[in-house]
C-alpha cells in the first residue's frame, strides 16, 4: 500500500470481521519484526512505492479459479467447458 492511512484502515476493518468472511492478516509492515526490513524487501522486488503492506495466509481459491471452475452441480457442469465459463464471466452483460 502507498498510504499509511490505508494500512491502518485495512487492519482495523479486517479485525472487525469474521474469518469466515475475509482472509485474516497474519503480519503487516507495522509489526516490530518486519518494520525494519519491509521497505528494503519491497524495494528489492520493485515495489519501492509501496512502503506499507499486509501478509495474509493463502486463500482456498483465487479469483481465476473461481471464474474458471465455478461450483456447479455435475449434471449442469457437463454442458459447459472451462473456457466457455471464463469467456462468459468476462463478457459484458
Give per-residue pLDDT as tens, 26-70.
999 999 989 889 999 999 999 999 999 999 887 777 777 777 776
Give per-residue pLDDT as tens, 5-15.
999 999 999 88
Tell me if the pTM is above 0.85. Answer: no
Any idea of the CA torsion for 9, 12, 16, 17, to the nearest 10 degrees? 60
**Degrees to nearest 5, angle at CA 14 with 11 and 20:** 155
pLDDT of residue 30: 92
Q: Is the pLDDT confidence value at 90 over 70? A: no
pLDDT of residue 71: 66
Structural domain boundaries in the chain? 1-58, 61-93
Amino acid at each position: 500500500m502507498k498510504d499509511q492511512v490505508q494500512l491502518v484502515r485495512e487492519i482495523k476493518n479486517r479485525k472487525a470481521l469474521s474469518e469466515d468472511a475475509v482472509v485474516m492478516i497474519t503480519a503487516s509492515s507495522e509489526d516490530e519484526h518486519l518494520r525494519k526490513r519491509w521497505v528494503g524487501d519491497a524495494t528489492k522486488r520493485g515495489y519501492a512505492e509501496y512502503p506499507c503492506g499486509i501478509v495474509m495466509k493463502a486463500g482456498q481459491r483465487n479469483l481465476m479459479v473461481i471464474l474458471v471452475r465455478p461450483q456447479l452441480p455435475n449434471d449442469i457442469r457437463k454442458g459447459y467447458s472451462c473456457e466457455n465459463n471464463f469467456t462468459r464471466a468476462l463478457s459484458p452483460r
